Amino acid sequence: MALLKILKFGDPLLRKTSRPVEEITPRILTLLDDMKDTMRAAEGCGLAAVQVGVLRRVAVIEVEEGKVIELINPKIIAYAGEQEDQEGCLSNPGNYGITKRPKHVTVRATDRHGKEFEITGSDLLARAICHECDHLDGKLYTDVQIRTVKP
């Protein structure tokens, strides 16, 4: 696997909307694997393909060690409640803000085998799903930030 370069805030690509994955090719599978390794090496809990310069609707999340969630063409289909907490981003290292996100989120996506699935997450997982889906739409956590937190 390869470690990919993570784009930093200010890169115009981070504001672009990612395109759907039409077919799961060996290239998409390699991207998923490389993104997982990159996310772990950077000590993050989520990474969207756009953050590594690929405008495809692909994200990986790991809020529970050893349990990586791979999302291809994710779409949030339900949300409930509200939470305010600290949020950061691998594209904005060392900076954090307080954001308001749903407490519970259900996302529908496709897995690496082409099977559609749904997963519901609460708390940190809900926050990570929202954060990564926002990236795929060209949005950053600072767009929903309530206030800055000093590191």
Q: How far apart are CA 80 and CA 78, in angstroms?
A: 7
Dihedral sign, CA of 24, 25, 26, 31?
Answer: negative
Using the 8-state DSSP alphabet, how is residue 136 labeled? H
Active-site entry in 62, 70, 87, 132: 132
Is 62 tagged catalytic?
no
110-145 burial: b if 16+ Cβ within 10 Å, else e = beeeeeeeeeebeebbbbbbbbbbbbbebbbbeebb
What DSSP character marks residue 6? Answer: P
Q: Say how far apart CA 48 and CA 91 lie, in whole Å.
A: 10
Catalytic residue ranges: 132
